[in-house]
Chain A
Amino acid sequence: MDQLIAGYADSLGVWLPPLARAAKFTLNIALLSILVGAVAGLLLALLKMSRRPILRRPADLYIEVIRGTPALAQLYIVYFGLAGVGLTLDNVTAAVVALGLNAAAYMAEIYRAGIESVHAGQREAAMSLGMTPLQALRFIVLPQAWRVVLPPGANLGIAVLKDTSLASAIATPELMSRAYDLVGQTWRPMPIYIVVAIMYMAMCLPLGQLVHHLERSVKRSDVRIAKAPARWRQRVSAT
């Protein structure tokens, strides 16, 4: 038993450094994908909320198609499919593009919910003060939508982080892919994949806590806004 544990400890010393490097790579891919998703998602949300059908319909279609098909199939289309018609992307770019464009469809719905949660009067007031629609969006609507967008947005971020594991199917050198290589060299799948599972947990659980915290603080600030006048009155009467 002692020998077994000592053997594992030795092996862990060999496995951990490459896995940790790969985990860093996973985080980088996740961050880039989330960035692509956040930017493209905002654009999609604005298109989807447009009054012109020619802008709204394609955005609608895009969101429905992306949400109705597996991320892995999308990844294959971006990597193998595009290569088949003459556009070859390397496996890191393909992963970021596919995961980012996938996240954009989900992010668009999150943005839309956030923007719709801001009272229409806010935007109208901003425009009546002479702001352009874009300025009203940038300075008035989005800063207020942010608090509704952030908790589900962070949840989506966790999902994207987990989905980066799919990129191992196109040999992007992230955590799962590196683990696969290690298993090929050592044929010790059980301990290696369990270590990898723990590493994903170590990345996702703190993010999950952050989401809980954000959700709570958004709820609390709602309460604060609702209660504010009463408290001010109390403070005034106390002094």
Chain B
Amino acid sequence: MSGFARFWEILIAKLPVFLPYLLKGALVTLKITGATLVVAALFGLVLALMQRSRLRVLGVVSAAYIEIMRSVPVLTTLFVIYFGLASIGIQLPSFIAAVIGLGMLGAAYMAEIIRAGIEAVHHGQREAAVSLGMTPAQAMRFIVLPQALRVIVAPTANYTIGLLKDTAIVSTVAAPELLFAAKTLVSQTILPMQVYMLTAGIYLAMSWPLARAAHYLEARLSRGV
């Protein structure tokens, strides 16, 4: 029991040093998450629209991309982008490599989410819009997507939680986010348990509100559908 008490004693004594340092990392984690979400949503929308295209080849390319991305670990994708591209002369900063690597996988998830959202909108909506003289693009932009959004929001929140946790992986390419900050602290203090527990606590503090929000949105939006 004394070891347990000592653990907390050390943690509390070091907290004023650890916490600001880790929170700075957490801020980068949030930035990476936000930037990746934007990339994943935009690229995912393109992939989803490709699957609905009348040009079959676009749909096949999109489906193949999604299958491939989902069957390769994000760490491998990240290493191809960060170390692989560097070896052929394209040296990306770790933040950009992280956003691209996570975004490429995220786009595959977002494509499925957006596709499900679009399919949930009755096709009569689109037909009515087109018969009123809208172009297919206008019908998609003003009629279908706004209605699809309510189906898309809750799973997107769920994806964001997964993404937030996946950002920890980019610590392997030295992006200065939360887990990387923790690793640096551990190498300076040799107190791995205290530092990593605190780090896990910070991740939890970020993902828990998101999980609550996703839960709330699911309950709220499924009522209307």
Interface, chain A (partner B; CB < 8 A): 64-65, 67-74, 76-77, 80-86, 158, 162-166, 168-169, 176, 179-180, 183, 187-190, 193-194, 196-197, 200-201, 204-205, 208
Chain A residue with Cβ nearest B81: A193
CA–CA, A179 to B169, complex, Å?
17
B193 in contact with A85 (CB, 8 Å): yes
**Contact with A74, one of B88, B166, B182, B200 (Cβ below 8 angstroms):** B200
A77 in contact with B197 (CB, 8 Å): yes
Q: Which stretch (B37-45, B68-76, B114-122, B128-136) binds chain A? A: B68-76
A165 in contact with B75 (CB, 8 Å): yes
Given A69-B207, A84-B191, does the pair A204, B87 have CB atoms closer than 8 Å? no
**Chain A contacts of B67 at CB under 8 A?**
205, 208
CA–CA, A166 to B196, complex, Å?
16
CA–CA, A165 to B72, complex, Å?
10
A181 nearest CB across to chain B (Å): 13
Interface string of B154-169 (1 = CB under 8 A from A): 0000000100011111
In the complex, how many residues of chain B place their beta carbon closer than 8 angstroms to a beta carbon of chain A? Answer: 46
B72 in contact with A201 (CB, 8 Å): yes
A176 in contact with B73 (CB, 8 Å): yes
B155 nearest CB across to chain A (Å): 15
Chain B residue with Cβ nearest A83: B192
Known: A69-B204, A73-B196, A162-B71. 11 other contacts (CB 8 A): A65-B200, A70-B165, A71-B168, A72-B169, A77-B200, A84-B191, A164-B73, A166-B73, A166-B75, A188-B87, A190-B84
A193 in contact with B192 (CB, 8 Å): no
The prevalent SS among residues of A at the interface is helix
B204 in contact with A165 (CB, 8 Å): no
A197 in contact with B76 (CB, 8 Å): yes
A-B residue pairs in contact (CB < 8 Å), sample of 7: A69-B207, A70-B179, A72-B168, A77-B192, A84-B194, A187-B87, A201-B68
B35 within 8 A of A: no
Interface string of B173-209 (1 = CB under 8 A from A): 0000001001100100011111011011001100110
B196 in contact with A77 (CB, 8 Å): yes
Given A70-B168, A74-B200, A188-B87, does the pair A205, B71 have CB atoms closer than 8 Å? yes
**Contact with B166, one of A70, A85, A196 (Cβ below 8 angstroms):** A70
**Contact with A77, one of B83, B86, B193 (Cβ below 8 angstroms):** B193
